[in-house]
Structure 1
Amino acid sequence: MGEESSNLEHLPSTILATILSKLDIPALCSIASTSKSFKSSVSQILSFLPNFHLPDIAPTADLLLPLLPENPHLQSLKIDCLRLNDSSIGHLVRPSLHEIFLQNCKGFSGKLLLEVGRKCRDLRSLSVGSLAEQRGLEILTSDLEELLCGCTQLESLNLLFDVSMLSHHSFAHIWARASRNLRALEIGYILSAMMTELLSVKVASHQPPYHMQPSTLSTLQKLSLSLDHITDSLVCAISRGLISLTHLDLQDAPLIEPALTDDLTNSGLQQINPQGKLKHLSLVRSQEYTRCYFRQVNDLGVLYMATTCSNLESIRLGGFSRLTDAGFRAILHSCSNLHKLSVSHGTQLTDLVFHDISATSLSLTHASLRWCHLLTNVAIMRLTSNKDLRVLDLRNCRNLGDEVLRVIVGLSKLKILLLDSSDISDLGFSYLGHNLYSLISLSIRNCKRLTDRCISSIFGGTFGRSLQVLDLSNLPNLTDNGILLLAKSGVQIVELRMRECPHIGDTSVMALASMQVEGPWCGSSLRVLDLYDSGGITKLSFRWFKKPYFPRLRWLGVTGCLNRDLVDALARNRPFLHVACGGEELWTGYWDLSDDFCWREHEEIDELEQWLLEGEYEGGESEEEEG
């Protein structure tokens, strides 16, 4: 880049500033690491950038300070706040902001909401995750009240934390002062009774005639809630109060089986969408804590619901154990505009549900059928008559075998294929050959029959050349030889998971560290590498996790008990590397999550870390950076 950067340096300052202002923060830091003059230019640019998005790095307060100078033009702020606390609130919260997206706010108290309400009067969108999760921190109802009263222009609000500890009565009434422009609301966890009471609150009109009117939440178009349990009362309150709703997403995870009077039944299901405006509906009972289902709902309730939900474009149903093919077929045949279908724990779903799907006008782009144990290859053969499928999620459908891979060859637009715990073998991957060249994400976790040969089939044909996300976890017959084949392919894998693979060891780590990918990048392209409980990993591997190897790695999963001292030393060597040792699933934390996975190929990560770690940012006194 030396000659190119030299030419750019001779551009007029106004033109150079215009060019630099179009780049995101990682790209600017990449440019700044190439020369002192660019470093100075970037420092100036940071004073008038409209957007500050730092998605992959969790900076400390000291490192954030020079990156966020005084900037009256700043409108959008997106930061991982894992290493920040209340002392940074004054630096983050600014009157000019229209959009704030803060994740991992464990070290912040409710004061963060308070200050946002006081200072960000023109705020349009706010998302706060994991607020006050550290011991000793609290959120007061008055903090949320200040936010709702102060941000009168708010259009989207995501409170991705537990609000159930707030006073129920006060919580309900403060929402009467929420922005009249509020269109989207998401709450990380709330009690069903709290939400029902909130939606039942009426507010007095200030215009003649002075009668009671619905809460301002009646303007909501999108509502997403994680609850203790979904009830008829809640669904009825939503249907009566939120007359403009187009998106409804309700999920619960009961600790015990709900009582009949405190659960969703056919009666509640029939109350959904009385206005006929819903486009997207999601009702899911998670099996996170115990095997609980919607046992009071059967086909009759779904048949009634289908008559009022014919305009749905996507539907997700999880935990409806009494629904049979008749209920699901009613949805498929009534919702002619349906593009996305998701069913999980459909214990009575069989191949008959798709028996005549080709006779419908459906054009599905996303299909997810998780934990549907009665489905066989026949069902998927019929489902693939939808040639526009881009996402196919068949995780934990254990009766699916090699024929599934044979029939999906014709899905030329398929981008994401998830086959966890299916009965496929190496033979199935040989069917794919040079097809599925659009595939970018593949998961074959817990497919016990697969061996190293499947790696050869994946990367020997065309379809593996575009892969960016690959999950090979819990494959008992996968060895270092398979990973050597992957490394030799030169494919730009971004996320690689190999959890609980007993024969994966140090050789695989060395091969991946030495991997030279195709394209403009140097070194491994991996950003996520999960090796938790892989049997052959020893102390030797930790040498390869240090610089300069894996320059773009941001998330690493290892077994902490392997050697805690080595893990701690690695954290000191690479402070911006997220090292997970407890077996938790790694996630990239992409800010713009969409159904179609998208990877920004231009991003250069290592230079960002280099620039952040330099002792001087503006003075130009530091030594010249390497390369």
Structure 2
Amino acid sequence: MIVSESYQGNSLMGSICSCKRDHYADENITRRGFSTRYFKLGSSKWLESSLFLPGPFCQLQRRSCPSLMELCIRKICEDIDKYRSFSILPRDISQLIFNHLVDSCSLSDNCIEAFRDCALHDMCMGECTRVNDKWLDVISSQGSSLLSAYISSTEVTDFGLSLLRNCSNLQALGLDCCDKISAHGIKHITGLTNLESLTIRSCKCIMDSDLKPFAGLVNLKELQISCNDITNVGVSYLRDLDKLVVLNLEGSDVTASCLDYLTALTSLKSLNLNRCHLTDDGCEKFSALSNLKELNLGFNNITDTCLGHLKGLTKLEGLYLDSCRISNDGLAHLAGLSNLKALELSDTEVGSNGILQFSGLTKLEDLNLSFTSVTDSGLTKLSGLTSLRSLNLDTRQITDSGLAILTSLTGLTHLDLFGAQITDSGTKYLTYFRSLQSLDLCGGRLTDAGVKNIKDLSSLMLLNLSQNLKLTDTALEFLSGLTSLVSLNVSNSRITNEGLQHLKPLKNLRSLYLEFCGVTACEIKKLQATALPNLARYRPNQ
């Protein structure tokens, strides 16, 4: 029997801003770097597959009728303040309770203690920023059972990190944006020799010398340690990590000379040098990394010359060049990269003529052409890329005519037309994309009539219609049948409190953004309490 105390209700609260980049936080998919398998933490059984599937997607995979176990877990979480300890429950049950609290943003100081000595395998804290050293004490109490922990943007200090020495079997550890951890605390990690995945992104304390002990983490397969103070010297300490598959140095002060130390890493498949200090000088060294499958060079001062040194990387499946000085001519070097599945060209000098070079990229699934000079006429060159699943055309030159040209791409699951000039008339072409799961249409030209053409896209999970000032409550009525929706953004519109009633059928909705509308937080809370129990994030929230 679970030991209980007096009951106090918990509210499912969360917040996220309604701008475009946070809209994609719900999707929990990183499209401008490596695939999600490299950005999530998990125990070894997940390391070779998709790790920690986002809560909303796990939920949508469930049966329409919840199992008895699911109902029990939900009830326990609703009454969480009744319970002092779950340690005598089977570990799998305790894990499910913990995961549900994380997914619903309900993990708190009051309930974390109940998980002491539960021998949990995975403690991924999600978006919880309340984690402190007291929580680390509970996490470390899992002892040798703990296989993964993810703690980001929290108040954890060096002392808290030292407690993890009891977790000798820890395989995956995430400490992103933990500003109270210093180099002294990082030294405690070096004793965790079973680590396979370690992320310490955006921590201000890491310097070159702090990476020297990492040479002892011989089982590392993934290392993400982006920090401004890391230079080529720091990278030199990593050259003997021969099991390393993923290396993320985003934002570090490295140059192409660091590649001298990476050529020995024959297992390396993914390399992220986004926002480093790369120029064309030294880029010829990329040709030695022949086993690379994913390469991120975004936001560097490289040109078409650099692309000439990549043409031999025939195993590449993902290439990210956003905000580089790449032109149409440079894309000719990509013609032989027939295995490419993802290509990021956002905010480059690429135009419609550059798309001519894509004809041989028949495996391309993800293409980002946002903020380029591509026009409607150039899109005709995409019609043969029938493998495309994700297409970003966030650019003002794209109109209804361009959308009409794309109708042969019936396999699209993600379509971003955020700033495109799509009108009500153009939305009729959306009916060709029956598999769409994510759609952005924020060019400001839609009315309720245009939304009517979206109502039959039953696979939609994320829909962003913000900035369309003419949308009214009728738009929500049209969307009421999209029961797979997880995230809906209709900010900057004429939606009112009265229109919220149309959202009641959207039982899977977890995020709702209605900022700068005639909607109040009070009415959203009422909707959450009576009809949308899974709603965890909403704006306005006060």
Structures share fold, TM-score greater than 0.5 = yes
| Aligned residues with identical type, % of pairs | 22
Report the structure, 1 or 2, having the larger strand content.
1
Q: Which runs of 5+ in 2 are unaligned?
A: 1-57, 517-529, 535-542
- Report the counterpart of residue 451 of structure 2 in structure 1: 509
* Residue 185, structure 1, aligned to residue 201, structure 2: no
Paired amino acid for 1:503 = R
Change (3 A) 1:379 1:158: same
In 2, Cα distance between the equivalents of 1:124 and 1:429? Answer: 47
In 1, Cα distance between the equivalents of 2:240 and 2:62? Answer: 50
In 2, Cα distance between the equivalents of 1:611 and 1:537? Answer: 22
Paired amino acid for 1:185 = L
Assess if the C-alpha contact under 8 Å between 2:117 and 2:141 holds in 1: no
Secondary structure of residue in 2 paired with 1:318: coil
Q: Alignment partner for residue 138 of structure 2, among 97, 105, 115?
A: 115
Shift of 1:391: 1.0
In 1, Cα distance between the equivalents of 2:297 and 2:342? Answer: 14
Paired amino acid for 1:498 = L
In 2, Cα distance between the equivalents of 1:264 and 1:357? Answer: 25
Change (3 A) 1:113 1:393: same
In 2, Cα distance between the equivalents of 1:565 and 1:611? Answer: 15
In 1, Cα distance between the equivalents of 2:233 and 2:112? Answer: 47
1:182-238 Cα shifts (integer Å, max 9, x gaps): 33222354222xx4xxxxxxxxxxxxxxxxxxxxxxxxxxxxxxxxxxx44345x35
In 2, Cα distance between the equivalents of 1:323 and 1:27? Answer: 45
Change (3 A) 1:93 1:421: farther
Shift of 1:367: 1.1
In 2, Cα distance between the equivalents of 1:315 and 1:383? Answer: 18
Secondary structure of residue in 2 paired with 1:345: coil
Paired amino acid for 1:352 = T
* Residue 330, structure 1, aligned to residue 330, structure 2: no
1:521-556 Cα shifts (integer Å, max 9, x gaps): xxx2211011222343234434445xx422111111
In 2, Cα distance between the equivalents of 1:87 and 1:571? Answer: 32
Q: Alignment partner for residue 529 of structure 1, among 444, 458, 463?
A: 463
Q: How does 1:470-485 map to 2 (within 5 A)?
A: 470-475=415-420, 477-485=421-429
Assess if the C-alpha contact under 8 Å between 1:60 and 1:83 holds in 2: no
Assess if the C-alpha contact under 8 Å between 2:366 and 2:389 holds in 1: yes
TM-score by length of 1: 0.63
1:20-67 Cα shifts (integer Å, max 9, x gaps): xxxx765554134xxxxxxxxx316878xxxx9x9xxxx99418899x
* Residue 30, structure 1, aligned to residue 55, structure 2: no
Assess if the C-alpha contact under 8 Å between 1:82 and 1:106 holds in 2: no
Change (3 A) 1:45 1:559: closer
- Report the counterpart of residue 552 of structure 1 in structure 2: 484
- Report the counterpart of residue 440 of structure 1 in structure 2: 389
Shift of 1:563: 5.7
Q: Alignment partner for residue 249 of structure 1, among 221, 224, 227?
A: 224
Larger radius of gyration: 1
Alignment length, in residue pairs? 455
Paired amino acid for 2:436 = I
In 1, Cα distance between the equivalents of 2:474 and 2:448? Answer: 7
Assess if the C-alpha contact under 8 Å between 2:470 and 2:494 holds in 1: no
In 1, Cα distance between the equivalents of 2:119 and 2:230? Answer: 44
Shift of 1:351: 2.1
Change (3 A) 1:238 1:425: farther
Change (3 A) 1:43 1:274: closer
In 2, Cα distance between the equivalents of 1:612 and 1:71? Answer: 26
In 1, Cα distance between the equivalents of 2:489 and 2:532? Answer: 25
Assess if the C-alpha contact under 8 Å between 2:390 and 2:414 holds in 1: yes
Paired amino acid for 1:471 = D
Assess if the C-alpha contact under 8 Å between 1:302 and 1:330 holds in 2: no
- Over the aligned positions, Cα root-mean-square deviation in angstroms equals 3.9
In 2, Cα distance between the equivalents of 1:306 and 1:139? Answer: 32
Assess if the C-alpha contact under 8 Å between 1:389 and 1:414 holds in 2: yes
Q: Alignment partner for residue 538 of structure 1, among 448, 468, 472?
A: 472
Shift of 1:393: 1.1
Assess if the C-alpha contact under 8 Å between 1:95 and 1:121 holds in 2: no
Q: Alignment partner for residue 511 of structure 2, among 578, 587, 595?
A: 578
Shift of 1:383: 0.7
1:6-27 Cα shifts (integer Å, max 9, x gaps): xxxxxxxxxxxxxxxxxx7655
In 2, Cα distance between the equivalents of 1:172 and 1:298? Answer: 25
In 2, Cα distance between the equivalents of 1:281 and 1:489? Answer: 39
Assess if the C-alpha contact under 8 Å between 1:571 and 1:577 holds in 2: no
Shift of 1:455: 1.3
* Residue 88, structure 1, aligned to residue 111, structure 2: yes
Paired amino acid for 2:337 = N
In 1, Cα distance between the equivalents of 2:162 and 2:477? Answer: 51
Paired amino acid for 1:549 = G
Assess if the C-alpha contact under 8 Å between 2:91 and 2:118 holds in 1: no
Assess if the C-alpha contact under 8 Å between 2:484 and 2:506 holds in 1: no
Q: How does 1:234-273 map to 2 (within 5 A)?
A: 234-235=210-211, 237=212, 240=215, 242=217, 245-252=220-227, 263-265=229-231, 267-268=233-234, 270=236, 272-273=238-239
Assess if the C-alpha contact under 8 Å between 2:487 and 2:512 holds in 1: yes
Change (3 A) 1:526 1:181: same
Change (3 A) 1:27 1:350: closer
In 2, Cα distance between the equivalents of 1:140 and 1:267? Answer: 27
Assess if the C-alpha contact under 8 Å between 1:316 and 1:343 holds in 2: yes
In 2, Cα distance between the equivalents of 1:29 and 1:612? Answer: 17
Q: How does 1:173-322 map to 2 (within 5 A)?
A: 175=189, 179-187=192-200, 189-192=202-205, 195=206, 231-235=207-211, 237=212, 240=215, 242=217, 245-252=220-227, 263-265=229-231, 267-268=233-234, 270=236, 272-274=238-240, 278-285=244-251, 294=253, 301-302=257-258, 304-305=260-261, 308=264, 312-321=268-277
Paired amino acid for 2:345 = L
* Residue 164, structure 1, aligned to residue 147, structure 2: no
- Report the counterpart of residue 344 of structure 1 in structure 2: 298
Change (3 A) 1:377 1:98: same
* Residue 365, structure 1, aligned to residue 379, structure 2: no
Assess if the C-alpha contact under 8 Å between 1:29 and 1:611 holds in 2: no
Change (3 A) 1:561 1:525: closer
In 2, Cα distance between the equivalents of 1:450 and 1:330? Answer: 38
* Residue 467, structure 1, aligned to residue 419, structure 2: no
- Report the counterpart of residue 384 of structure 1 in structure 2: 335
* Residue 43, structure 1, aligned to residue 68, structure 2: yes
